[in-house]
Amino acid sequence: QLSTSQPSPERVPSAEEQEWAGPEALCPGWLEDEAPDGEVPGDSGDPDCATHAYERLQSALCQEGLPPTLDCSSEPRTGFGPLDMTVCILGSPTPFLPVLLEGGTRCPGAMVLCLSPTWASRVPSETAPGAWSLLLSRGVSFKVGGHSALETFVPPRRANYVTGTFAPGDPECSWVGKLARDLDCPTGGSVPLAHRLEDTLVARWVLAARANLPVPPTLAFVLGARGDLPTEPVAPGVRLVRLEDPQGQQSLVQEEVGAFLGGTAMEPYSQVGTGGVGGVGGTEGHWGAWRGTGVH
């Protein structure tokens, strides 16, 4: 449960503080060559990382009819201790905006959005040998009514829970994954887990073979070894057909597809047709998903 205690009383920002001061306010010292203290990913010096993410946040807030973020960074927030709750969101603000807004309503100030690796540092954990603590020197905190503020924290604020944009393809994925690795607090995911969950075939195989959960009938043509898809144990509802040369095994493909579409497992799906069968997908190593069931 999130703590509702406030480390310091709220104040009304001045007119100057309500204006976003640009990249220097988001990443102070970004013009300097010297790297910040602590373990930070090597590609963390680009100020555009924070600038673009901040602009996306303002756009999202505007679309929701919410006030823009106030720049309160000139007066650091102090008084945070180990018992103060800090839920840290790393990376893109868009996917987590509903969580940030709801968290700001239920526990004002506890939800902190980190838009750049320069806003955080990793230090060896004092409670878990071999793990790391994530400390936030800067962040966007959320309060009641959708209000948000860009703040600095002195001393840095320790994260008690961490999640973020781990999905491959997100520009923040690289530094988010590095900051969230081997932390001494619970995390809401990881880059390897996101890779597995976004691979429909792997996700279905894990659910069926490891968790004994029912999955939609699936026929998958796999190119090469695909070591992440073992032959044992067998995954109920998922049939894997390994192809060495798809161009030379067209008859096998046609036989497998015909047997699959005509089998009893597909009888409940009245909308199935052969129009969903496509060519072999290049680098992914399996057929493109079709309708959530059917051929991969």
pLDDT (tens, 9 = 90+) of the chain, 296 residues, equals 333 333 334 344 444 434 433 333 444 433 333 333 334 333 444 445 788 889 999 999 999 999 999 999 999 999 887 778 999 999 888 889 999 999 999 999 999 999 999 999 999 999 899 999 999 999 999 999 999 999 999 999 999 999 988 866 665 667 888 898 899 999 888 777 777 777 788 888 888 888 889 899 999 888 776 766 776 778 888 888 888 776 778 888 888 898 888 888 888 775 544 443 333 333 333 343 333 444 55
- DSSP letters, 2-61, are -----SS---PPPTTTTS---HHHHSTTTTSSSPPSSB--TTTT-THHHHHHHHHHHHHH
Q: Please work out, in degrees rounded to the nearest 5, the angle formed at the alpha carbon of residue 277 by the alpha carbons of 260 and 279.
A: 125
What distance in Å separates the CA atoms of residue 218 and residue 229, rounded to the nearest whole number? Answer: 14
182 φψ region: left (φ > 0), alpha (ψ -120 to 50), beta (else): left
pTM over 0.95: no
Amino acid 292: pLDDT: 44
**Dmax (CA) of the chain:** 74
Amino acid 36: pLDDT: 39
CB 244 within 8 A of CB 251: no
Amino acid 52: pLDDT: 87
What distance in Å separates the CA atoms of residue 100 and residue 293, rounded to the nearest whole number? Answer: 34
Which residues have C-beta within 8 Å of that of residue 173, sequence separation ≥ 6? 91, 165, 166, 167, 191, 194
DSSP 162: E
Q: Which of 136, 110, 138 is nearest to 54 (CA)?
A: 138
Amino acid 108: pLDDT: 94
Q: What is the Rg, in whole angstroms, of the alpha carbon atoms belonging to the chain?
A: 24
> Domain boundaries in the chain?
47-189, 199-266
Q: CA 81, 83, 84, 89 torsion: positive or negative?
A: positive
Amino acid 37: pLDDT: 38
